[in-house]
């Protein structure tokens, strides 16, 4: 099915942490998943009588048992919480960026001579980020912000981005990458 | 009239049916035919054991199950039925003997099948004879049709198959297409199907309906061979000769005639027919058949085909006799069932014996055969006398009564028909006999050396020929039965 | 307030017509996917609006969430088609 | 309060409108994804936020939880929308769709 | 039950239904059918049938479209009508 | 005429359900592609669901979930306040039956495709006839 | 065919339109449907079963028998897909492919050969493509929440919309999402075929078994009030609990069936790389 | 326990279906004993129910303990009591007879097959026993879905035919559902008895009229009534023998039962026959169905396909009989449900045995079968006689009532059609007898074929077949009792 060259290329781009060894069971990921899930449960349920709480307990246990390895592919949890907190702090900035980007896009969309303004192109660059989550956050942020959409990311950090015009293309990787790198830097 | 309830009629019907598993399972031909004999003799014994009671004027009745309101599977033995059952069951024994000789003589295949269906056919025949209502009659009539199909198509070659198809098409087509709806209409009109002397109709039904019903019922029993539903019979002659002999001279065709008679006497009733003047219609149809069939028979070269057309003609005598609606005519018609049976079976036996001994089927090839097979040809002569209706054979009585019947009924044209057809009968039988015995040596196709068919073949035909003659001297049993039936 | 919600919903329905045009007109399957996805995002909002109109928004939130999830899954499944079957010869 | 809700709702609707128009007007598949992916996300986000706020009108624990659930939807959309956009654009690349460049006809 | 929205969505539903059977590509048909189901879900929530809407959203729209796409994936997209 | 327009408006849902059903039926009869027929079949089924749900609608009623919650069992409940839940229940069943049928139909399509390598009915029939 | 179809359609449509003229107007509160039977359910649901969601009580109790068969229909569909599509094992394909995880090199082996069990190689199929990083990661994070949501929907069918069906489908969809975003092998490792195939009838059996339990306790089939003696609660609460048990059964059955059907359809019964 | 029979009737097969499904993954040999036990229980319960009904009258069972208009109820009266026994016993006999061929045809999928099989039986039993219009739809779908699965497991063309069946079946079921919806919108009820009680004042309503017609069209689609029959022959022909010998005898018959139930119970005969005045049209359709079925059967050179066309004709019998609008016709239709189920079972089991041994059922494969498989063919003769309508077998008696009904209604076209189809059946079956009775033609080859040794199907297949053959005759002989004690009460007094 695949073009030969492309196949090789794609194969080399593989992330290394494909979920494997499903059978192995780790306690701490389980516990943390359970706690997170229980929090969400309370939010969803809104009923705090013993019956529903015990149901929640059982449900969360089931989910944690089934899927804790999806949430935490590796059993090492050191620093995850810090990363998560930093990630939360990153969100407001992203929202503002999103807002700004959208104003630009609205302008483009509603402009009568839109065809002259845009100049789509695909650009490539290499990111310095190394963690998987960091890359994904970055990719999604790119998608959400100014006139750019991530086309492809490899686990090495090669980005292929579709940009709507030259200005947008030039702004990459820019400030965003730095911010994300801060979030995901090693503790 | 007194009635007795007895299981005997059912037994008489079932005997030959129950013997079929034995026939199928027995590996040795001798054992198999032994069983057939046993069944045939038991059957005759059961039937015969009922004769005294019948002769005293009682009826024997047995109900198996009621299937519809007012309609049951029911047996009733009366004089007419007894007459027919007696003839067919006694001739079965003879035919069995003949079959053994014929089948073994020709080294036929599938003999087990042959004997099985023969037994089933006999069951059905006796069932028809003893049935108490139109429904039961129809049931056994259909059973007989299907049971004889494998016998007709026994040879399995192309001709046999096409004849078998023709046979089924006519017989079953007519019975499902005409009898069944007619029966339903009767039931719908009257709510019963029981045979009774005065008929089941109230007489208030419109004439046209009655005429249509009558025609449907009379023509629908196509086994009676009334034209235009006759052409299955010549076709069916491809069957082995014992089959033609018993079934197409006695059982099957007589079942047709018997059914027609039953319908005329039991469903419509003589009085109603007379009142509506419907008998004449049947008379003319039958008369037409008689003459036409005889004329066709004249031109046939195949011996069995000639016999077949003869049978068609003779069957219509029976119908004609009853349709005259005069007591004498009815006696004549009924006794003709027996008389013709003995005569015609002899003729068929002879034809078969000739075939077994010489392999000849056509009349033109039989010149001088009397020198080679004198016993057979003498028997043939006796048989033909009986069929023509000349003394000293039983056939004389039935024809005598028929003639009297025409006079009694004031149907002069019918008298002419009867007499002329007798002449025609003579015209197509005597040349055979004459050529068989009286020919110049140059014409003779056979060497002057007596070489009869196997003994198993010869004995039966001698017996039946003797029976024909005996009936001339002792016809009382059948005449008595017929008289009882017309009362 | 109900009136505002009602007219907002109607307006959303009008926006859906616009997205539906893209979904129907194509020209490629992927354009249709974009259109359907856009309809989906409007529908989520509309569901909440309807919940508010019924004054029973707590009952509609669950539907809305499920809707968003399954819309996502459906779109993902459709796009995964091209992941395994590249282009092919027929119209894309 | 109502006014604030209205502002949020209408701005959300405005973005959604722009998104819809953008989907119609942009010349090719890739560029259409921009309004579809971004404007719709933001529009949904704002509108929902407004509605969540409105829901807090009659404050109670239940209402708060409901609003939080709406926020949950927002988060979900926030994660799912770019992913879906990416999936679609990826599909386009794999399908071999060439991007529109300046000067071509609208596709 | 809000007849104005109901009316609007009903019209949309009809359009989508026609489109999904007219489109000359099975994948497109599957996608449009998904849209049709989602609109139906909306319609039912408008009519107040929340459980039906929920079921349609999950069963009718979500899983059905996935099945459709899977089937098209395993067979062919080609169609003459 | 004056009576016609109110009739049309008062039963708008019913007209649309008929329209949808006919679209589905037409697709099932006239379309040549097996999967297209399945799409038509689903539209057909949903049309009936639409019909049923329309029966359940009641002016001025709210969704059929008690506003009182678990505890308030003994308040008086006015039937007119709630939509008719029975059609909803029936239609849950119908939807599920629909998806079950869909699954089976698609499985059959897959088998057919693996055998004839096409989904067009006329092409399949041509192949069968050739044999 | 098109014209015939059109004619049939138009005739049928015209007939239906003709019949619809006699209908009560849409949303008429006084139509027979709204006044004859439904008030009973609305007014008595809380009293009889203490379930605020009338649809749920109607679904699982008043008309619980329908629902049992509805679940059976789902099970049947799964089974039919299985029986039609599943290519039974035992036949080893001509070639098998393995991929070295670290380098991405693909090894193709002839029939009969095997690679020693190791962490470095994973089995792939000839249609294999690498999973997309973004999709994979975001889905991986979403799936647990989707599952939780599914369970929540099942558990709260009493008081809010939802219940066994919807929750079950969402649960199933979460596994399907796993299969879509990763590949079918990964999903199968989570939910093995045998587990699916056994859980599915068990789910329906929970439903039917609850009913049979009632029957064995001496009342009619599916009359949950009999469970009161087992659960030590009053009959009304027993009905509520009975409904809950039934919903769990439905949830399990629906979830597994959805996975089952998806697995079979997306891999055409080969259970290798799916969609 | 006896008051729980209606529930047991459905629950036992349902639970055993799940048990079989699980057992298939654990130990395959458990499947067959489970299914036979379950079906035996069902037969026992159905006979018990019929006896109870005969003794005490209608049995009503409230599912979930809710009284009828609220909950779902089962009604067992004389009509469905009779059909229940037929369905249960046909299923039991067939599964025993089919065991060998199932093992031969799909050794590794026997367990799912048995599961589908018994689910189908559950569905059919449920359809027969239920008193709720919507419940019937759900059960209809179960029976249909399992049917699609079972039929599609056959040879190559089976899937396409099964898919066509699926389309038609879905339309049919949806039409039925729509009809129920129409009834619901005007009455607000779903219970059959309740609807019947509420309907009379509404007889003039167009919606009720439409409901009736739509329901009828739906049911006709499902039973392959004439213009809508096109799916049936292919679907049944290409299926495996185990599946077709369950589906062919039961599905169409049960749908005819549904039709009769609709006419008799929901829309009372007065409405169906008097208000509607559609009798003539439908009976003429039935006439065409019978004639077309017979003619199309004549054109076939393939035993199984021929039999399927005969089924089409038989459906015409039943529909026509029911629509004659008098007691005799209705009696004939109901009796024919029983008889046709049995005789179709008989001939399809024969086909199963032939396929098991000969691996084909085209006419040329059948040569010399009488010698090879005498018992099978003996049973075939009985079945064929019954289809033709030869007296001691049961087929004749239902035909009798049908003709009687037609005569009373003055519908001679129907009589003619019945007679015609009987005649055609004679031709059809004797053509086959000819082929399998006689060894191949010897006039071309010259040399004699040595007679083939007897090679009968296994005992497990032959014994049920012979039992069916005997039952065919017994039912025929006891028709009077069946009519007088059961069917007479199944038809409301109003129908004369």
Reported as a single tens digit per residue, the pLDDT across F11-25 is 888 888 899 999 999
Reported as a single tens digit per residue, the pLDDT across B71-116 is 888 888 888 888 888 888 888 888 888 787 777 777 777 777 778 8
Segments in chain E below pLDDT 70:
1
Percent above pLDDT 90 for chain H:
8
Reported as a single tens digit per residue, the pLDDT across B173-188 is 888 888 888 888 888 8
Cα–Cα distances (Å) from G191 to A66, G40, G166, G186, H24, in that order, read: 9, 43, 19, 9, 19
Which range among B354-368, F69-83, G226-240, H182-196 shows the weakest confidence by mean pLDDT?
Answer: F69-83
- Structure ipTM: 0.88
* Helix/strand/coil for G37: coil
Asked if E63 and G172 count as a contact pair (C-beta separation under 8 A), the reply is yes
Chain H partners (3+ C-beta pairs within 8 A) = B, F, G
| Domain extent listing, chain B | 278-487
Q: What is the pLDDT of residue A2?
A: 37
Q: Which residue of F has its CA nearest to E45?
A: F63
State the nearest Cα–Cα gap between G265 and chain E, in angstroms: 6
Residue B443: band (very low, low, confident or very high) from pLDDT cuts 50, 70, 90: low
Q: Does D7 touch chain G (CB under 8 A)?
A: no
Instruction: Tell me if A46 is assigned to some domain.
Output: yes
Residues B271-282: b if buried by 16+ CB within 10 A, e if exposed: ebbeebebbbbb
Reported as a single tens digit per residue, the pLDDT across B374-395 is 788 888 888 888 888 877 787 8
Q: Compare G128 and F63 and report the one with higher pLDDT.
A: F63
Instruction: Tell me if A163 is assigned to some domain.
Output: yes
Q: Which residue has the tokens 């449920």?
A: H126
> Which 30-89 residues of chain F touch chain H by CB within 8 A?
34, 37, 41, 44-45, 48, 51-52, 55, 86-87
pLDDT of H444 > 50? The answer is no
B458-472 average pLDDT score = 82
B461-483 average pLDDT score = 82
State the nearest Cα–Cα gap between G179 and chain H, in angstroms: 24
Instruction: Tell me if D11 is assigned to some domain.
Output: yes
Asked if F109 and F34 count as a contact pair (C-beta separation under 8 A), the reply is yes
Q: Are strands B59-68 and B3-5 parallel, antiparallel or unpaired?
A: parallel
H189: chain G residues, CB-CB within 8 Å: 36-37
Q: What is the pLDDT of residue G256?
A: 92
Q: How many F-H residue pairs are in contact by the CB < 8 A criterion?
A: 63
pLDDT of C26 > 60? The answer is yes
Residue B231: band (very low, low, confident or very high) from pLDDT cuts 50, 70, 90: confident
B322-330 average pLDDT score = 82
Where does residue H64 fall: left (phi above 0), alpha (psi -120 to 50 degrees), or beta otherwise? left
Which structural domain range is residue G201 located in?
Answer: 53-89+132-266
Main-chain dihedrals φ then ψ at residue B66, nearest 5 degrees: -95, 120
State the nearest Cα–Cα gap between C67 and chain E, in angstroms: 6
Report the distance separating Cα B416 and Cα B395, nearest Å: 18
Mutate to test the interface with G, among H19, H31, H65 (most CBs of G within 10 A): H65
Main-chain dihedrals φ then ψ at residue B71, nearest 5 degrees: -125, 130
Mutate to test the interface with C, among E22, E37, E41, E45 (most CBs of C within 10 A): E45
Of D20, D48, D72, nearest to C18 by CB-CB distance is: D20
Tokens found for residue B69: 């309101």
Of F30, F64, F88, nearest to G2 by CB-CB distance is: F30
Q: What is the pLDDT of residue H445?
A: 43
Burial class (CB in 10 A: 0-12, 13-18, 19+), B437: middle
State the nearest Cα–Cα gap between H31 and chain F, in angstroms: 24
Report the distance separating Cα G270 and Cα H482, nearest Å: 53
Of D14, D21, D85, nearest to A143 by CB-CB distance is: D85
| Domain extent listing, chain H | 278-496
Angle at alpha carbon of residue H320, lines to H316 and H321, rounded to 5°: 115
Answer whether H426 sits within 8 Å of B173, measured CB to CB: yes
Q: Which residue of C has its CA nearest to E72?
A: C81
Report the distance separating Cα H285 and Cα H294, nearest Å: 14
Report the distance separating Cα G36 and Cα B266, nearest Å: 64
Which structural domain range is residue A35 located in?
Answer: 18-71
pLDDT of B457 > 80? The answer is no
Answer whether F105 sits within 8 Å of H166, measured CB to CB: yes
DSSP notation for D14-46 = HHHHHHHHHHHHSSSHHHHHHIIIIIHHHHHHH
Answer whether B67 sits within 8 Å of H390, measured CB to CB: no
Which structural domain range is residue E61 located in?
Answer: 24-76
G172-178 average pLDDT score = 90
F101: chain G residues, CB-CB within 8 Å: 77
User: What angle in degrees, to the nearest 10, is found between the helix axes of H206-223 and H303-323?
Assistant: 160
Tokens found for residue B243: 């089959």
Instruction: Please compute Rg for chain D using Cα positions.
Output: 17
Helix locations, E1-81, DSSP H? 3-22, 26-46, 50-55, 64-74
Residue partners of C33: CB distance under 8 A and separation at least 6:
C75, C78, C79, D88, D91, E31
Q: Of G195, G203, G91, G182, nearest to G139 (Cα)? A: G182
Q: Does G218 touch chain F (CB under 8 A)?
A: no
Q: Which residue has the tokens 């061929």?
A: H101
Which range among B131-140, B434-443, F16-25, H46-55 shows the weakest confidence by mean pLDDT?
Answer: B434-443
Q: In this structure, are A35 and A106 located in the same domain?
A: no
Is there an interface between F and B (3+ Cβ pairs < 8 A)? Answer: no
Asked if H476 and H397 count as a contact pair (C-beta separation under 8 A), the reply is yes
Q: Of B276, B310, B263, B272, nearest to B290 (Cα)? A: B310
Q: Of B22, B40, B42, nearest to B32 (Cα)? A: B22
Q: Which residue has the tokens 């088609």?
A: C81
pLDDT of B38 > 60? The answer is yes
Report the distance separating Cα B484 and Cα H255, nearest Å: 56
Q: In this structure, are A93 and A177 located in the same domain?
A: yes
Greatest extent of chain D over all pairs of C-alpha atoms, in Å: 58
Q: Does H25 touch chain G (CB under 8 A)?
A: yes
Number of domains in chain F: 1
Burial class (CB in 10 A: 0-12, 13-18, 19+), H48: middle
DSSP notation for B258-316 = HHHHHIIIIII-HHHHHHHT-HHHHHHHHHHHHHHHHHHHHT--BHHHHHHHHHHHHHH
Q: How many C-F residue pairs are in contact by the CB < 8 A criterion?
A: 9
F109: cis peptide before it, omega within 30°?
Answer: no
Q: What is the pLDDT of residue A12?
A: 41
Report the distance separating Cα H326 and Cα H405, nearest Å: 6
Chain C partners (3+ C-beta pairs within 8 A) = A, D, E, F, G
Of A45, A71, A97, the residue that ends a domain is A71
Q: Which residue of H has its CA nearest to B166?
A: H427
Instruction: Tell me if D100 is assigned to some domain.
Output: no
Which range among B93-107, G214-228, H461-475 shows the weakest confidence by mean pLDDT?
Answer: B93-107
Number of domains in chain E: 1
Mean pLDDT for each 10-residue chunk of chain A (187 residues)? 40 43 66 86 83 88 84 74 82 83 81 77 80 82 79 81 78 75 73
Residue B65: band (very low, low, confident or very high) from pLDDT cuts 50, 70, 90: confident
Asked if H355 and H373 count as a contact pair (C-beta separation under 8 A), the reply is no
Of G16, G20, G50, nearest to F70 by CB-CB distance is: G50
Number of domains in chain A: 2
Q: What is the pLDDT of residue A22?
A: 46
CATH assignment of the domain containing F11? 1.10.287.3510
Q: Which residue of C has its CA nearest to E60?
A: C70
Residue B56: band (very low, low, confident or very high) from pLDDT cuts 50, 70, 90: confident
Q: Which residue has the tokens 């050969």?
A: G113
Q: Which residues pair with H75 in a beta bridge?
A: H60
* Helix/strand/coil for G86: coil
Q: In this structure, are A131 and A54 located in the same domain?
A: no
**107 residues of chain D, pLDDT tens digit each:** 788 888 888 888 888 888 888 888 888 888 888 888 888 888 888 888 888 888 887 778 888 888 888 888 888 888 888 888 888 888 888 877 777 777 677 66
Answer whether F52 sits within 8 Å of H141, measured CB to CB: no
Report the distance separating Cα H243 and Cα H241, nearest Å: 5
Q: What is the pLDDT of residue B50?
A: 84
State the nearest Cα–Cα gap between G180 and chain C, in angstroms: 6
Report the distance separating Cα A20 and Cα A69, nearest Å: 9
Asked if G176 and C73 count as a contact pair (C-beta separation under 8 A), the reply is yes
Q: What is the pLDDT of residue A8?
A: 39
H162 HSE (CA, 13 A, CB side): 34
Residue partners of H305: CB distance under 8 A and separation at least 6:
H233, H237
Instruction: Tell me if A98 is assigned to some domain.
Output: yes
H336-365 average pLDDT score = 86
Report the distance separating Cα G32 and Cα G38, nearest Å: 9
Residue G253: band (very low, low, confident or very high) from pLDDT cuts 50, 70, 90: very high
The Cβ of residue B52 has, within 10 Å, a number of other Cβ atoms equal to 9
Residue partners of H221: CB distance under 8 A and separation at least 6:
H168, H169, H171, H172, H175, H228
State the nearest Cα–Cα gap between A38 and chain G, in angstroms: 9
Answer whether E54 sits within 8 Å of C63, measured CB to CB: yes
Q: In this structure, are A169 and A105 located in the same domain?
A: yes
Q: In this structure, are A129 and A40 located in the same domain?
A: no
Long-range (24+ apart) CB contacts under 8 A made by H193-200 are H193/H68, H193/H75, H193/H131, H193/H265, H194/H68, H194/H69, H195/H133, H195/H266, H196/H265, H196/H266, H196/H267, H196/H268, H198/G36, H199/H266, H199/H267, H199/H268, H199/H271, H200/H268, H200/H271
Q: What is the pLDDT of residue G93?
A: 62
Q: What is the pLDDT of residue G89?
A: 58
Q: Compare G271 and C70 and report the one with higher pLDDT.
A: C70
Main-chain dihedrals φ then ψ at residue F82, nearest 5 degrees: -115, 150
Which structural domain range is residue D82 located in?
Answer: 2-95
C64: chain D residues, CB-CB within 8 Å: 70, 73
Q: Does C86 touch chain A (CB under 8 A)?
A: yes
> Which 13-72 residues of chain C touch chain G by CB within 8 A?
58-59, 62-63, 65-66, 69-70
State the nearest Cα–Cα gap between E73 and chain C, in angstroms: 6
Q: Which residue of F has its CA nearest to E2?
A: F59
Q: Does F35 touch chain C (CB under 8 A)?
A: no
Residue C1: band (very low, low, confident or very high) from pLDDT cuts 50, 70, 90: confident
């Amino acid at each position: 099915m695949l073009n030969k060259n492309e196949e090789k290329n794609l194969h080399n781009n593989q992330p290394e942490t494909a979920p494997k060894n499903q059978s192995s069971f780790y306690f701490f990921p389980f516990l943390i998943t359970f706690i997170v899930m229980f929090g969400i449960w309370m939010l969803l349920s809104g009923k705090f009588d013993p019956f529903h709480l015990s149901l929640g307990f059982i449900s969360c246990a089931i989910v944690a048992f089934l899927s804790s390895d999806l949430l935490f592919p590796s059993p090492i949890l050191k620093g995850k919480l810090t990363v998560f907190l930093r990630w939360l702090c990153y969100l407001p900035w992203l929202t503002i960026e999103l807002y700004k980007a959208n104003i630009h896009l609205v302008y483009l969309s509603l402009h009568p001579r839109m065809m002259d303004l845009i100049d789509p192109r695909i650009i490539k660059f290499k990111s310095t980020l190394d963690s998987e989550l960091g890359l994904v956050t970055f990719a999604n942020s790119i998608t959400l912000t100014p006139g750019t959409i991530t086309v492809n990311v490899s686990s090495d950090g090669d980005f292929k981005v579709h940009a709507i015009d030259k200005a947008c293309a030039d702004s990459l990787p820019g400030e965003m990458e730095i911010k994300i790198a801060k979030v995901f830097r090693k503790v | 009239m007194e009635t007795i309830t007895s299981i005997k009629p059912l037994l008489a019907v079932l005997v030959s049916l129950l013997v079929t598993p034995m026939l199928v399972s027995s590996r040795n031909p001798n054992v198999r035919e032994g069983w057939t004999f046993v069944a045939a003799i038991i059957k005759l014994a059961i039937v015969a054991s009922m004769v005294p009671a019948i002769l005293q004027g009682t009826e024997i009745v047995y109900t198996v199950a009621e299937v519809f309101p007012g309609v049951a599977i029911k047996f009733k033995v009366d004089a007419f039925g007894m007459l027919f059952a007696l003839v067919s069951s006694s001739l079965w024994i003879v035919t069995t003997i003949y079959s053994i000789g014929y089948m073994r003589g020709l080294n036929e295949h599938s003999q087990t099948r042959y004997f099985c269906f023969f037994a089933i056919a006999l069951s059905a025949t006796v069932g028809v004879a003893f049935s108490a209502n139109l429904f039961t009659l129809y049931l056994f009539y259909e059973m007989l049709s299907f049971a004889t199909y494998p016998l007709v198509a026994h040879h399995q070659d192309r001709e046999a198959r096409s004849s078998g198809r023709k046979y089924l098409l006519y017989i079953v087509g007519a019975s499902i297409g005409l009898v069944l709806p007619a029966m339903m209409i009767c039931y719908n009109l009257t709510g019963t199907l029981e045979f009774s002397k005065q008929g089941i109709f109230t007489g208030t039904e419109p004439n046209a309906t009655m005429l249509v019903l009558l025609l449907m019922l009379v023509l629908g029993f196509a086994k009676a061979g009334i034209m235009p539903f006759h052409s299955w019979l010549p076709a069916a002659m491809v069957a082995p000769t014992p089959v033609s002999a018993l079934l197409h001279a006695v059982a099957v065709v007589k079942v047709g005639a018997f059914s027609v008679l039953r319908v005329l006497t039991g469903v419509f009733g003589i009085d109603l027919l007379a009142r509506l003047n419907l008998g004449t219609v049947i008379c003319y149809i039958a008369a037409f058949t008689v003459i036409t069939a005889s004329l066709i028979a004249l031109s046939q070269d195949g011996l069995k085909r000639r016999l077949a057309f003869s049978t068609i003609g003779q069957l219509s005598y029976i119908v004609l006799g009853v349709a005259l609606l005069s007591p004498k005519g009815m006696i004549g018609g009924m006794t003709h069932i027996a008389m013709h049976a003995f005569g015609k079976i002899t003729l068929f036996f002879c034809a078969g014996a000739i075939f077994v001994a010489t392999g000849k089927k056509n009349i033109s090839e039989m010149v001088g055969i009397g020198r080679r097979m004198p016993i057979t040809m003498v028997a043939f002569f006796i048989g033909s006398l009986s069929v023509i209706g000349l003394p000293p054979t039983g056939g004389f009585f039935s024809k005598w009564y028929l003639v009297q019947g025409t006079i009694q009924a004031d149907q002069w044209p019918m008298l002419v028909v009867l007499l002329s057809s007798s002449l025609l009968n003579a015209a197509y039988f005597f040349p055979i006999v004459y050529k068989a015995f009286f020919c110049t040596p140059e014409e003779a196709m056979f060497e002057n050396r007596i070489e009869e068919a196997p003994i198993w073949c010869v004995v039966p035909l001698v017996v039946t020929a003797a029976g024909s003659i005996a009936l001339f001297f002792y016809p009382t049993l059948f005449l008595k039965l017929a008289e009882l039936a017309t009362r | 307030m109900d009136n505002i919600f009602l007219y907002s919903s109607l307006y959303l329905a009008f926006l859906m017509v616009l997205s539906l045009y893209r979904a129907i007109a194509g020209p490629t399957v992927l354009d249709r996917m974009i259109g359907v996805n856009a309809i989906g995002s409007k529908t989520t909002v509309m569901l909440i609006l309807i919940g508010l109109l019924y004054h029973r928004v707590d009952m509609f939130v669950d539907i809305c969430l499920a809707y968003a999830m399954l819309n996502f899954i459906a779109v993902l499944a459709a796009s995964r088609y091209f992941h395994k079957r590249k282009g092919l010869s027929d119209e894309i | 309060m109502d006014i604030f809700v209205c502002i949020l709702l209408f701005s959300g609707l405005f973005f959604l409108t722009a998104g819809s128009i953008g989907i119609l007007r942009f010349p090719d598949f890739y560029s259409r994804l921009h309004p579809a992916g971004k404007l719709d996300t933001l529009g949904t986000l704002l509108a929902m936020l407004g509605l969540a706020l409105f829901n807090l009108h009659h404050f109670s624990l239940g209402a708060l939880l409901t609003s939080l659930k709406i926020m949950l939807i927002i988060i979900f959309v926030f994660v799912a929308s770019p992913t879906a956009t990416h999936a679609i654009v990826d599909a386009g690349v794999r399908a071999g769709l060439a991007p529109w460049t300046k000067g071509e006809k609208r596709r | 039950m809000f007849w104005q929205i109901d009316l609007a969505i009903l019209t949309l539903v009809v359009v989508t239904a026609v489109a999904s059977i007219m489109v000359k590509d099975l994948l497109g048909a599957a996608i449009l059918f998904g849209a049709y189901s989602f609109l139906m879900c909306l319609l039912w929530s408008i009519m107040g049938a929340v459980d039906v809407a929920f079921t349609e959203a999950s069963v009718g729209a979500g899983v059905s479209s996935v099945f459709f796409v899977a089937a098209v994936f395993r067979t062919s997209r080609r169609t003459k009508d | 005429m004056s009576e016609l327009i109110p009739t049309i408006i008062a039963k708008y849902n019913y007209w649309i359900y008929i329209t949808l059903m006919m679209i589905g039926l037409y697709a099932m009869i006239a379309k040549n592609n097996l999967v297209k027929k399945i799409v038509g079949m689903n539209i057909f089924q949903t049309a009936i669901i639409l019909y049923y749900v329309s029966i359940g609608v009641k002016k001025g009623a709210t969704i059929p979930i008690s506003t009182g919650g678990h505890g308030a069992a003994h308040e008086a409940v006015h039937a007119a306040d709630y939509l008719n839940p029975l059609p909803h229940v029936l239609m849950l069943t119908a939807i599920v039956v629909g998806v079950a049928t869909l699954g089976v139909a698609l499985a059959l399509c897959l088998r057919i495709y693996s055998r004839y390598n096409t989904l067009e009915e006329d092409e399949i029939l041509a192949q069968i006839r050739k044999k | 065919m098109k014209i015939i179809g059109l004619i049939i359609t138009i005739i049928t449509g015209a007939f239906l339109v003709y019949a619809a003229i006699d209908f009560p107007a849409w949303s008429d509160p006084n139509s027979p449907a709204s006044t004859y039977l439904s008030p009973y359910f609305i007014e008595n649901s809380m009293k009889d079963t203490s379930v605020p969601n009338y649809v749920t009580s109607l679904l699982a109790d008043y008309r619980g028998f329908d629902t049992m068969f509805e679940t059976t229909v789902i099970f049947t569909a799964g089974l039919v897909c299985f029986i039609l599509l599943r290519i039974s094992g035992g036949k080893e394909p001509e070639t098998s492919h393995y991929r070295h995880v670290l380098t991405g090199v693909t090894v193709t082996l002839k029939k009969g050969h095997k690679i020693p069990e190791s962490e470095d190689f994973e089995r792939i199929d000839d249609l294999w493509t690498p999973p997309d990083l973004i999709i994979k990661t975001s889905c991986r994070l979403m799936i647990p929440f989707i599952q939780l949501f599914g369970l929540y929907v099942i558990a709260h069918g009493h008081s809010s919309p939802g219940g066994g069906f919807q929750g079950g489908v969402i649960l199933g969809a979460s596994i399907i999402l796993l299969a879509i975003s990763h590949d079918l092998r990964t999903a199968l490792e989570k939910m093995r075929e045998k587990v699916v195939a056994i859980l599915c009838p068990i789910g329906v059996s929970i439903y039917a078994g609850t009913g049979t339990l009632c029957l064995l306790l001496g009342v009619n089939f599916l009359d949950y009030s009999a469970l009161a003696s087992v659960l030590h609660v009053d009959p009304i609460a027993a009905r509520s609990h009975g409904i809950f048990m039934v919903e769990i059964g439905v949830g399990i059955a629906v979830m597994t069936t959805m996975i089952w059907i998806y697995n079979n359809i997306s891999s055409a019964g080969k259970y290798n790389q799916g969609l | 326990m006896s008051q729980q029979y209606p529930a047991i009737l459905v629950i036992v097969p349902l639970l055993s279906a799940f048990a079989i499904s699980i057992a298939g993954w654990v130990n395959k040999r458990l499947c067959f004993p489970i299914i036979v036990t379950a079906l035996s229980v069902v037969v026992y319960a159905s006979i018990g129910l019929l006896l109870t009904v005969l003794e005490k009258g209608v049995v009503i069972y409230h599912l979930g303990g809710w009284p009828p208009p609220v909950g779902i109820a089962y009604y067992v009266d004389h009509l469905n009591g009779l059909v229940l026994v037929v369905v249960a016993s046909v299923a039991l006999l067939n599964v025993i007879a089919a065991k060998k061929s199932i093992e031969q045809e799909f050794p590794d999928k026997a367990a799912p097959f048995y599961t589908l099989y018994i689910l189908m039986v559950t569905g059919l039993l449920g359809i027969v026993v239920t008193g709720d219009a919507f419940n019937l739809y759900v059960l209809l779908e179960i029976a249909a879905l399992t049917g699609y699965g079972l039929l599609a497991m056959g040879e190559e063309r089976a899937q396409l035919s099964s898919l066509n069946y699926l389309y038609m079946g879905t339309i049919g079921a949806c039409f039925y559902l729509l009809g129920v919806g129409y009834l619901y919108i005007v009455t607000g009820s779903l219970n059959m008895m309740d609807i019947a009680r509420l309907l009379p004042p509404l007889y003039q309503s167009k919606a009720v009229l439409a409901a009736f017609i739509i329901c009828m069209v739906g049911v006709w689609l499902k039973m392959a009534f004439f213009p809508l029959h096109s799916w049936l022959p292919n679907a049944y022909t290409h299926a495996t023998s185990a599946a077709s010998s369950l589906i062919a005898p039961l599905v169409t018959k049960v749908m005819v039962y549904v039709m009769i139930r609709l006419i008799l119970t929901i829309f009372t005969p007065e409405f169906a026959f008097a208000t509607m005045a559609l009798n003539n049209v439908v009976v003429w359709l039935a006439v065409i169905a019978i004639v077309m079925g017979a003619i199309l059967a004549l054109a076939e050179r393939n035993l199984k396909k021929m039999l399927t066309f005969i089924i089409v004709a038989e459906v015409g019998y039943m529909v026509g009989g029911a629509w004659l609008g008098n007691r005799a016709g209705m009696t004939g239709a109901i009796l024919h449900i029983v008889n046709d189920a049995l005789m179709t079972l008989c001939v399809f089991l024969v086909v199963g045995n032939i396929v098991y041994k000969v691996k084909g059922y085209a006419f040329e494969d059948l040569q010399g079968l009488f010698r090879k498989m005498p018992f099978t063919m003996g049973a075939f003769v009985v079945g064929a006689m019954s289809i033709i309508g030869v007296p001691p077998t049961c087929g004749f008696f239902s035909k009798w009532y049908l003709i009687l009904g037609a005569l009373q209604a003055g519908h001679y076209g129907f009589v003619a059609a019945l007679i015609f189809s009987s005649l055609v059946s004679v031709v059809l079956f004797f053509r086959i007898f000819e082929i399998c009775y006689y060894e191949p033609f010897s006039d071309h080859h010259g040399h004699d074929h040595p007679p083939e040794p007897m090679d009968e199907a296994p005992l497990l297949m032959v014994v049920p077949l012979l039992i069916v053959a005997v039952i065919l005759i017994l039912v025929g002989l006891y028709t009077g009792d069946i009519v007088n004690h059961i069917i007479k009460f199944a038809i409301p007094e109003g129908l004369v």
